[in-house]
Amino acid sequence: MEWASQLCENRHIGSKMTDSKYFTTTKKGEIFELKAELNSDKKEKKKEAVKKVIASMTVGKDVSALFPDVVNCMQTDNLELKKLVYLYLMNYAKSQPDMAIMAVNTFVKDCEDPNPLIRALAVRTMGCIRVDKITEYLCEPLRKCLKDEDPYVRKTAAVCVAKLHDINAQLVEDQGFLDTLKDLISDSNPMVVANAVAALSEIAESHPNSNLLDLNPQSINKLLTALNECTEWGQIFILDCLANYTPRDDRESQSICERVTPRLSHANSAVVLSAVKVLMKFMEMLPKDLDYYGTLLKKLAPPLVTLLSAEPELQYVALRNINLIVQKRPEILKHEMKVFFVKYNDPIYVKLEKLDIMIRLASQANIAQVLAELKEYATEVDVDFVRKAVRAIGRCAIKVEQSAERCVSTLLDLIQTKVNYVVQEAIVVIKDIFRKYPNKYESVIATLCENLDSLDEPEARAAMIWIVGEYAERIDNADELLESFLEGFHDESTQVQLQLLTAIVKLFLKKPTETQELVQQVLSLATQDSDNPDLRDRGYIYWRLLSTDPVAAKEVVLAEKPLISEETDLIEPTLLEELTCHIGTLASVYHKPPSAFVEGSRGVQHKRLPVRAGSGESSESPDASQPVGVVADTPPAVIPSQGDLLGDLLNLDLAPPTSSGPPVVPSMQMGAMDLLGGGLDSLMGDESETLGGDIGGSPAMGGGLASAPAAVAPSLGAPANSGLDMLFDLGGSVGMPSGSFVVPKAVWLPAMKAKGLEISGTFARRGGVLQMEISLTNKAMSVMTDFAIQFNRNSFGLAPAGPLQVLTPLSPNQTTEISLPLSTVGPVMKMEPLNNLQVAVKNNIDVFYFSCQYPISILFVEDGKMERQVFLATWKDIPNDNEAQFQIKDCHVNSDTATSRLQTCNIFTIAKRTVEGQDMLYQSIKLTNGIWILVELRVQTGSPGCMMSVKCRAPEVAQLVFQCYEMVLKTSSDA
């Protein structure tokens, strides 16, 4: 809180450092004493009283009753007293907006005070008082302060514009403050420029498409001039702003780089990283054969190395940023390998990050040095670090081919140590080395097999099984080894089970006569005795392959495997570009784009590095002509070909019903093919009979394939276009809403649980505004005042959009009705159930807690009507697993009534058609957080019920949508 930070500042104003006396325990009735002291004629007594009030406020005591008395103390020339009064005002103005207006005249007067400190203090405080009634009075003083002769006042006023914009954006635009703020970029004082840039950047973040910071070479020149003279935080604001500018050509890019480079030697690490971000971005524009390009690469290394001499927490942030830089431009730090060597006293998080960067910088020139270091790390006591070190040796072998033999030798030495976790990690990485260099290092397999009994981790067991299966022909007792794993098949992890299944099938294809029983056993375990769908599916695929075409099975299972890539953990190039533009921010530490972790309503812009002229990327290409992350505004192709069956949406009823008898099922059905019998003969001869019989008798395989669904056939004969035309012939049957649906009020908190306060209520959405309609009933004997409300974090970010307005004290046996507007930009946390809301209500007696559930219909927004083609495309795109079906029982309603009634809740009917007396309604809903919900509602005339299918990318909401439909439709049918 700003007032708290200012309080710390004020503690240094007084000549005597004895402020602790104000925080001693207060006695009863002190409010009345303070009131008298505040109205005293003696200035010292007044100041002492205000200090006591601030002390009480700081420790959480409610001193709002003294508001008018404290405000009266504003009329003073004493700067210390004025600051204290302003602190009090900032804290209590929101709960006492009517009283706060009393202070407006003093603010206006202080904004014209001869003392620039008082002028700045007044405008800063007015910006911190987030009360709508006061903002209109702030405009004139703010306009004057923005053009004040004193730079301190101007820089304070610049920040105040950003605060005012957060409260009332429209007012700021109407009053022309944004233009004044842009003018301040040309100010003669560097700190005013920095604050103007900071304010405009803050406003631009909440309006990504506003182009407020219209940067051009002239304004960039002014920013670079101010850069040398402002404070470190001012420099960060300006550098971050420069990073958003795209130079016209490589000459301008070089010029900016030359003027930013001195910032690399700054003592503040945030300034250094911001400068690195600008240089990394503008280097993209420089030709690589330019002398300055090489000079710049050399200049970037020393400041990054210097960052690693800071405390561990800063080191970690620096290392995460360096990790990105090394992936983008490894040449910057290629000669600095030694600074990433681990120190004995480094925390584990620093060690692991250094290890990662060492591997990224490993090359033929330094691999000997790196391997010696890694071998040393593998003998450390920290288990996690040792594991990572062993894996790093494997990664080096894969990355630098010339070092592979030395790496394998090092790994074998580590296996000889017989340290369990070292052996297991070594086996995992040796498997990857085999994949990278086939038929080169298989001589070590015998050594690996000696350690088979010591393997207890799933990944190591799976790696060893893969090695045995892949090189079964070179291992005499491969069948015995795999059989030993098979004994505890059901106790193994899924990873090991899948690998074991594949390895035994490989072994069978290589040595069919010796391993028939073994393969039968594993196929039976995988398909009939397992609940894991992945394992069952793989088992059935192998079973069918083996029984149908063993030659094809050999080609599939024993196919030559592609070589694994050098670095599998590199960040994807477009993401790396975006993260490079966010160096020095949280995104560069998380290695995630801001959109992945920034919550709230603010649009997050995706950033890209500039493209150098003549680099081969045409500026006229579709990708270059529009921002990253913006989907091209072209309608999706959803009209299918005739044989496409229209995907998942309406493949059963596109064509009109036919009266020519039952549909003809295509004669070539999957079940008609002999998938299961006798196919192993060519591989095994007569021995396959038993296996073939067992496979054919598997109930889980034959049952579902005997016939195709008969209802699919009609859709094959109907032209897709005519079906679509019929489907979307709405015929004007969708009615307009007559009034939104509101759930009746319920008692949320009974009086007996809340010391006489009864709270009942409901939720509503009217004119696009969410409201919590509350009834407060006082069933106690005393008057209730000072009401306030707060929500806990919830699934959809519901939060009060204003205070709980109980204008008069609530007398005994009195009820008051309140309509509390809600917003959906509060903090989000998934609740159980999803629509659960935890509420705290405070009054002068106590704080009371209760939970209630809101109907999801209040989150249905007014622009939820989807285009028809987009509806079809979206329905097809959402996986079938996300579809939920429900039955609404005892619901006597026709389709027109249902359509009209549902539209009052912002449930929009996209299409309607009738098939065999059943009306099919296709509807779309959009939630406040942007999630779309698609519904198919089937209404049978004369039938006391409806069926509905719900599809959504967040399937958790389906149950709540069903409850909403049930409530609305049953209400309408009862009516």
Give the Cα separation of 82 and 71 in Å (integer).
Answer: 10
Stretch 404-426: mean pLDDT: 87
pLDDT on residue 187: 84
The pLDDT-based confidence of 605 (bands split at 50, 70, 90) is low
Maximal C-alpha separation, the chain: 115
Instruction: Give Cβ neighbours of residue 620 (< 8 Å, ≥ 6 apart).
Output: none
| 320: pLDDT strictly greater than 90 | yes
Instruction: Give Cβ neighbours of residue 607 (< 8 Å, ≥ 6 apart).
Output: 244, 577, 578, 581, 582, 628
Asked whether 925 and 932 are in contact (CB, 8 A), the reply is yes
CA nearest 833: which of 860, 854, 849, 861? 854
Q: What is the DSSP letter of 627?
A: -
Stretch 260-285: mean pLDDT: 89
Q: How many CB atoms lie within 10 A of CB 547?
A: 24
pLDDT on residue 568: 61
pLDDT per residue over 133-153, tens digit each?
A: 777 778 888 888 888 889 899
Label residue 170 exposed, middle or buried (CB < 10 Å: 0-12, 13-18, 19+).
Answer: exposed
pLDDT on residue 714: 32
Q: How many CB atoms lie within 10 A of CB 814?
A: 14
**What percentage of the chain reaches a pLDDT higher than 90?**
14
Asked whether 682 and 550 are in contact (CB, 8 A), the reply is yes
Q: Which two tokens stand for residue 890?
A: 């005892």
pLDDT on residue 606: 63
pLDDT per residue over 701-731, tens digit each?
A: 333 323 333 333 333 333 333 333 333 333 3
pLDDT per residue over 454-480, tens digit each?
A: 888 889 889 988 988 888 888 888 888
pLDDT per residue over 781-819, tens digit each?
A: 888 998 999 999 998 999 998 888 888 889 888 999 999
Stretch 45-68: mean pLDDT: 80
Give the phi and the psi of residue 694 in degrees, each rounded to 5.
-65, -40
Strand partners, 284: none
pLDDT per residue over 875-934, tens digit each?
A: 888 888 888 888 888 887 888 888 888 888 889 998 888 877 788 889 999 998 888 999
pLDDT per residue over 554-579, tens digit each?
A: 888 888 877 776 666 678 888 888 89
Give the Cα separation of 175 and 167 in Å (integer).
Answer: 14
Q: Which residue has the tokens 């925390």?
A: 347
**Can you tell me whether residue 69 is helix, strand or coil?**
helix
**Can you tell me whether residue 790 is helix, strand or coil?**
strand
Give the Cα separation of 813 and 161 in Å (integer).
Answer: 47
Minimum mean pLDDT among 70-84, 187-201, 599-613: which range?
599-613
pLDDT on residue 639: 30
Q: What is the dihedral angle through the alpha carbons of 571, 574, 580, 583, rounded to the nearest 10 degrees?
A: -70
The pLDDT-based confidence of 777 (bands split at 50, 70, 90) is very high
Please state the pTM of the whole predicted model.
Answer: 0.58
Stretch 693-707: mean pLDDT: 35
pLDDT on residue 316: 93
Burial 870-906 (b: 16+ CB within 10 A, else e): ebbbbbbebeeeebbebebeebebebbbbbbbbbbbb
Angstrom distances, CA of residue 738 to CA of 373, 900, 906, 924: 76, 8, 12, 19
Q: Which residue has the higher pLDDT, 885 or 104?
A: 885
Give the Cα separation of 883 and 266 in Å (integer).
Answer: 57
pLDDT per residue over 510-552, tens digit each?
A: 888 888 888 888 898 888 888 889 999 999 999 988 888 888 8
Q: Which residue has the tokens 């010796």?
A: 514
**Sheet strand arrangement including 908-915:** 883-889, 945-952, 932-940, 918-926, 908-915
CA nearest 396: which of 409, 379, 383, 381? 409
**What percentage of the chain reaches a pLDDT higher than 70?**
81
